[in-house]
Amino acid sequence: METALTRLIQSDGQQKAKRGTAHTPEEIYKQVEIWSDTSARIRMQEARLREIFTRVKSAKRPAAIVCTGAGTSEFAGYCLEALLRKRMGMAVNVISSARIVSTPEDCFTGGYQTLLLSFARSGDSPESLGSVRIADMLATDVSHLAVTCNARGALFNEINGRADGLAVALDERCNDLGLAMTASFTNMVVAGQTLAHLYALPAYERQLDNLIRAGAAIRDAAPAVTEQIAGLGFERAVFLGDGANYGTAIESHLKLQELTAGQVMCTWDSFAGLRHGPEAVIHPNTLVVAYLATDAYTRRYQLDLIRGIHEKAIGKALLCVAHSVPDEIRRFCDYTIEYGQAADAVADDLLPPAYVLVGQLLGLFTSLKRGLKPDNPSPQGVIHRVVEGVKVYDPEAFRRSGKARIIAER
């Protein structure tokens, strides 16, 4: 079907170059079509993955998974943290690679059998490489699993072939050429979901089919709504999500903020958490985006918060995203995006790849409305596709001698 998104994709090359839309719109559109391939790439490694998890879980010391990455790659971990914890029966923490390299002793305390699960688009960020090398230095006994969109990147080459690890490269189409990570994010999350279902892969395959239908439905329905919202001229946005969609909210805030070069300032929270101070950010020109839960118990808290926002008459507009928005919430919404006519309700643990399309599209259309180029929205070069100017230092050498020995840089 034709939408505001497909019209951008179908415009001629000259228009795309002028508007900075040669890559980002198509990467947003086509990502749903890659999810099945991504899951298959993880399933192909089932035997090796079982070996790694057997090694980690059979040790006498407690087992833990540390999900790491920088920026969007870190946020993939928040979408997977609870799912991995529940399905793998292990302690799971999300620690950004930036934290690992700058305060390593805070991240690896010893005494744990650790699996470092690294996510990266290019894998060429110094922190990607540095976090692996620092984990080898400081963790008691570490195994490695890397999920990256670049088979030629430094992270893939660091882990590939190691006896204590496995590197999985996703389809090259996931290695976004636009500045903002879109296809890379959702496909890394799908890879993590497949990994979490390592001991129940057929069940996940059935759920993935439904997730793909949900994602396609949101991709087709959301452009009209998000383009209209982009015309409101809002100056702030707050994204709300619970459970796995707390990670969706975090990633959505970054997409809108970076695609508008910081012209729209954004934040995120859980629904209940917003009441504890962050609600102060909602001024009269603020967009509120609510990612509604499928779980009825969780949604009770969401209804209470949404009703409270309405009663306080704060914010410019409220957008609710759901399988189907219940009437008790719909009456408070200015806009809704639903996928219920195309797919069954997706479990909350699996929703982030579909829901985050809304945040991506809000970023795309708001960027265009503000005269920016989504493929490269930072005209002064403040932010880059791959981080630059970063050095990672050897913590052991520095503590021992005070000398700053570089172990990774770009």
Distances (CA, A) of 324 to 96, 252, 342, 344: 34, 20, 11, 10
Nearest to 72 by CA among 359, 291, 272, 318: 359
* CA 244/CA 232 separation, integer angstroms: 29
Q: What is the DSSP string of 138-182?
A: HSSEEEEEEEES-TTSHHHHHHTT-TTEEEEEPPGGGS-SSSS-S
120, part of any domain: no
Q: Could you tell me which residues come within 8 angstroms of residue 338 by beta carbon, excluding any fewer than 6 positions away?
A: 221, 321, 322, 323, 324, 325
What are the tens digits of pLDDT across the range 245-291? 999 999 999 999 999 999 999 999 999 999 998 899 999 999 999 99
* CA 358/CA 344 separation, integer angstroms: 19
Domain total in the chain: 1
Can you give the CATH number for the domain in which 301 is found?
3.40.50.10490
Instruction: Give rounded-to-5 percent helix, strand, coil for the chain.
Output: 50, 15, 35
Q: pTM of this prediction?
A: 0.95
pLDDT at 395 over 90: no
251, part of any domain: yes
pLDDT at 79 over 80: yes
Residue 87 pLDDT:
96
pLDDT at 380 over 70: no
334, part of any domain: yes
Please give the residue range of the domain that contains residue 359. Answer: 207-379
What are the tens digits of pLDDT across the range 187-225? 999 999 999 999 999 999 999 999 999 999 999 999 999
What are the tens digits of pLDDT across the range 338-354? 999 999 999 999 999 99
* CA 201/CA 31 separation, integer angstroms: 21
175, part of any domain: no
65, part of any domain: no
- Where would I find the beta strands (DSSP E) of 205-329? 236-240, 265-269, 286-291, 317-322
125, part of any domain: no
**Percent of the chain whose pLDDT exceeds 90:** 83
Question: Can you tell me the mean pLDDT for 156-164?
Answer: 93
288, part of any domain: yes
The DSSP output letter for 348 is G
Residue 401 pLDDT:
73
Nearest to 350 by CA among 30, 27, 39, 25: 39
Question: Can you tell me the mean pLDDT for 358-376?
Answer: 97
Residue 60 tokens read as 């006498």
124, part of any domain: no
